[in-house]
Copies of this chain bind each other. A is one copy, B any other.
Amino acid sequence: MNDRVFELHAYVAASGSVVGGKERNGPLGNLFDMHDSDDRFGQSTWEKAESEMQRRALCIALEKWGRDQNALDAILAGDLLNQCVGSAYGLLDYHVPYFGLYGACSTAALGLMLGACLVSSGYLHHAAAVTSSHNSSAERQYRTPLEYGAQRTPTAQWTVTGASAFILGHERYAGHNSVRVTQAMPGIPIEMGIRDAANMGAAMAPAAVDTLERYFVASGTTPSDFDAIVTGDLGWEGSAIFHDLLYADGIEVAPRHTDCGSMIFSRHTQDTHAGGSGCGCSGVVMSAYFLPKLRSGEIRDMLLIGTGAMMSPDALKQGQCIPAIGHLVRLKGGD
């Protein structure tokens, strides 16, 4: 039963993206709704700044939607911070039922999938899926404080400072040119022996491959059925492995595949090594880059495979490998 495709009837009513300075200076910089050049968002700590980004991302999405929080039946949210406090504190201003998620960097896709399930089945009319990551809060929690100036390896990804919010509703409420969430497939945790926390791409690529291959079989589709197959976030290293593993199974995604972690920073001028990562990465790239293309019809049918590495620093110190997951969501563009 592990090849179950969820048939969904949801649409994206609005979305918001908030990023830091480095993301603003990247190739997609002028597409984001809001940025703060010094990544602080007026807060005294990086963790509070991350929470503030979530608060603002949802505020922006609600403004674009033209309704207030009373029209939201629930928020689904999670992030990378211990105990997901980026979400818990960031969304406290909203007096809305709350589902806490943990999907590591796959959280944007996990929230889109579960939110779409809950609105499709009528349990909720409208729900928000919110997530975030912050480079400075993530680095000191997962690796070392930035002040140490630790050298990064070539396979290391750069945690994106960004937060995204998507408001989902049942497709019966959708207007013209709405982006619809039509299918999803949850990921299965995969652990292939990778222990290097500076090579998340290698840990996550097999999980993305597993979900995508199960989806193609279960849905009867092939890569050529889609205008875009988007992973978030394998980075340059993980994307290469993703292509190799698929190719070994006779699947060629190259012309259609792109990766949010490979898009958000310039490989040549921004020195992020293997590209971007973090819950916020695929969230803000989806909100700012792909949703407008879906709305305009430039992209009519796409897959997002949100990937997450579900280890903790403590688990790695205890000799554990890195389990990863890939959650798949299919989105279709405007009429």
Which residues of chain B have C-beta atoms less than 8 A from A311's C-beta?
83, 85, 88
Tell me, yes or no, whether A73 is within 8 Å of chain B by CB: yes
Whether A189 pairs with B83 at a CB distance below 8 angstroms is: no
The CA-CA distance from A308 to B84 in the complex, in Å, is: 13
Whether A99 pairs with B186 at a CB distance below 8 angstroms is: yes
Which residues of chain B have C-beta atoms less than 8 A from A101's C-beta?
99-102
Shortest Cβ distance from residue A28 to the other chain B in the assembled complex, whole angstroms: 27
Shortest Cβ distance from residue A31 to the other chain B in the assembled complex, whole angstroms: 29
Whether A102 pairs with B100 at a CB distance below 8 angstroms is: yes
Closest 10 CB pairs of A and B: A121-B121, A97-B186, A83-B312, A100-B102, A88-B310, A102-B102, A82-B82, A82-B312, A84-B102, A85-B312
Cβ < 8 Å to B, chain A residues 90-105? 91-92, 95-104
Shortest Cβ distance from residue A306 to the other chain B in the assembled complex, whole angstroms: 12
One complex includes copies of this chain to the number of: 2
Which residues of chain B have C-beta atoms less than 8 A from A121's C-beta?
117, 120-123
Most B Cβ at <10 Å: residue of A91, A122, A185, A320: A320
Q: What number of A residues sit within 8 Å (CB to CB) of B?
A: 62
Q: Which residue of B lies closest to A95 (CB)?
A: B188
Cβ < 8 Å to B, chain A residues 56-115? 70-74, 78, 80-85, 88-89, 91-92, 95-104, 110, 114
Whether A189 pairs with B91 at a CB distance below 8 angstroms is: yes
Q: Can you list 19 residue pairs at the A/B interface with Cβ under 8 Å?
A: A1-B71, A2-B73, A2-B97, A4-B123, A47-B315, A78-B100, A78-B102, A83-B104, A84-B310, A85-B314, A95-B188, A96-B188, A97-B187, A98-B187, A98-B189, A99-B110, A99-B114, A100-B310, A117-B117
The CA-CA distance from A110 to B99 in the complex, in Å, is: 8
Which residues of chain B have C-beta atoms less than 8 A from A187's C-beta?
97-98
Known: A102-B101, A103-B100, A124-B4. A88 touches B189 (CB 8 A): yes
Shortest Cβ distance from residue A96 to the other chain B in the assembled complex, whole angstroms: 6
The CA-CA distance from A74 to B48 in the complex, in Å, is: 34
Which residues of chain B have C-beta atoms less than 8 A from A47's C-beta?
314-315, 318
Whether B98 pairs with A6 at a CB distance below 8 angstroms is: no
Shortest Cβ distance from residue A61 to the other chain B in the assembled complex, whole angstroms: 16
Which residues of chain B have C-beta atoms less than 8 A from A100's C-beta?
78, 101-104, 110, 308, 310, 325
Q: Which residue of B lies closest to A125 (CB)?
A: B1
Tell me, yes or no, whether A191 is within 8 Å of chain B by CB: yes
Tell me, yes or no, whether A323 is within 8 Å of chain B by CB: yes
Tell me, yes or no, whether A45 is within 8 Å of chain B by CB: yes
Tell me, yes or no, whether A118 is within 8 Å of chain B by CB: yes
Which residues of chain B have C-beta atoms less than 8 A from A122's C-beta?
121
Which residues of chain B have C-beta atoms less than 8 A from A6's C-beta?
123
Whether B323 pairs with A1 at a CB distance below 8 angstroms is: no
The CA-CA distance from A85 to B197 in the complex, in Å, is: 15
The CA-CA distance from A103 to B4 in the complex, in Å, is: 26
The CA-CA distance from A122 to B95 in the complex, in Å, is: 29
